[in-house]
Amino acid sequence: MHQPTERANKIKVLHTSDWHLGRSLYGRERYDAFAAFLTWLVALVEEQEIAVLLVAGDVFDSHTPSHRAQTLYYHFLSQLLRTSCRHVVITAGNHDSPSLLEAPQQLLRALDVQVIGRVADSLDEEVILLKDRQGQAELIVCAVPYLRDREMRVVEAGESVEDKERKLQEGIRQHYAAVAALAEQKRQQWGAHLPIVAMGHLFAAGGQVVEGDGVRDLYVGSLLQLPAGIFADCFDYVALGHLHVAQKVNHSERIQYSGSPLPMGFGEASQQKSVQLLSLTGRSVTVQRVAVPVFQPLQRLKGDWAALLKQIKILAAEGASAWLEIIYEGAEVMGDLRERLDQAVADSQMVILRVRNDRVLDQVRAQVAVEESIDDLDVYDLFERCLVAHKVPEEQRAELHGAYREIMASWHEEDAQAE
């Protein structure tokens, strides 16, 4: 029979999320940067004597991650065995395949790695009691994965969008309430000073996102935002994933996003990425953000031709090795813009991944009737107006339209599968 914990132990926990292993950027693979991050994370665990690592969803970028992405993941877990880390708790995000994450579940449990990919048959599987090497309880983790629509509500014919969102939000609230009640029950059994940390992969109301971060709607046709009130007071800390900007929810130290450790797009390039280091003494929690190094610089350059050329020359003189997004904002029509940009970086270590010509977009906007908004046009209308803006001959447009339709159909199919 177990003995309740009588004193508050000190324990260090690392909260991270949204690794998105395997994600490319405009066709450029990023495996070197992911590998460098995971190597750095192992070193941080060892340096800070971390006892528990929490990964709050989106381990992978795709439901079908590449062999190389999976190799990085399993190599990382094997490396942790040589560190101070006693427990790893991983939950699935909306990008993850629950089946793929849970496939080696029994083997990983033997290594003190707990993986929760979907709502468990028994709620007890989501409320995990962690013990120290002496067998004493030290932490309760409520490992709640991304809660899928079909798991949280019963679909009824004729229901409105409002009804759907209300039922979905209520289902998620009830799930967290049930998890909290069970966690509190375990706390009473094992010691009143035992801390409880909850995990979640969701969009908390008021959360900050940035352009190009790849954060997609969690629920089809909806960007359901959940109030912080769904998290019970018995949770001493709530480790969230999904939003890529490290942030507190409603300015609360208790409920936080760790953010993605690598910038997922150029919109995140200027952010200082971090992971969350929790120091727990009983139910007292101190949170410290630990900055993640930049493993592959990203830079967004804007301006007319003269301004762009000046910025490129400055970066080249500094020996920069950044991947670049170029946004051309000049009035001059430059049909050879890409060629001139490639020539400008030819003798440097920089690589241009994307060129955006805002002047062409302005031309498309100019073609939209006064009573129209560009938001009123669908993607096919916009494509047609781009062809007109570029003065593409009529005889070439049929083939281009066909290719564009194939691309859009493929993109929609992949997006539906990911959901």
Query: Model confidence over 78-132: pLDDT tens digits?
Result: 999 999 999 999 999 999 999 999 999 989 998 899 999 999 889 999 999 999 9
Number of helical (H) and strand (E) elements in the chain, helices listed first: 11, 15
Q: What is the mean pLDDT of residues 370-392?
A: 65
For the entire predicted model, the pTM comes to: 0.82
Q: β-strands 323-328, 298-303: how paired?
A: parallel
Residue 371: predicted pLDDT:
46
SS3 category, 134: coil
Residue 308: predicted pLDDT:
96
Task: Give the pLDDT band of residue 154 (cuts 50, 70, 90).
Answer: low
Residue 1: predicted pLDDT:
46
379-389 vs 358-367: helix crossing angle, rounded to 10: 110
What are 368's strand-pairing partners? none
- Written in H, E and C, the secondary structure of 40-55 is HHHHHHHHHCCCEEEE
Whether the Cβ atoms of residue 103 and residue 64 lie closer than 8 Å to each other: no
pLDDT, one tens digit per residue, over 167-217 is 888 999 999 999 999 999 999 999 999 999 999 999 998 777 766 555 654
Task: Give the pLDDT band of residue 222 (cuts 50, 70, 90).
Answer: very low
Quickly count: other Cβ atoms within 10 Å of residue 395's Cβ.
7
More confident residue, 240 or 377: 240
pLDDT value at 413 more than 70: no
Q: How many residues does the chain have?
A: 419
pLDDT value at 419 more than 50: no
Q: What is the mean pLDDT of residues 343-358?
A: 92
Q: What is the mean pLDDT of residues 65-77?
A: 97
What are 129's strand-pairing partners? 140
- What average pLDDT does the structure give for the chain? 87
Nearest CA to 93 out of 120, 58, 63 is that of 58
pLDDT value at 370 more than 50: no
- Give the integer Cα–Cα distance in Å for 245 and 273: 8
Give all domains of the chain, ordered by start, each with its CATH number: 10-291 (3.60.21.10), 298-418 (3.30.160.720)
More confident residue, 206 or 3: 206
pLDDT, one tens digit per residue, over 254-299 is 999 999 999 999 989 999 999 999 999 999 999 999 999 999 999 9
**Residue where the block lists tokens 């002496």:** 134
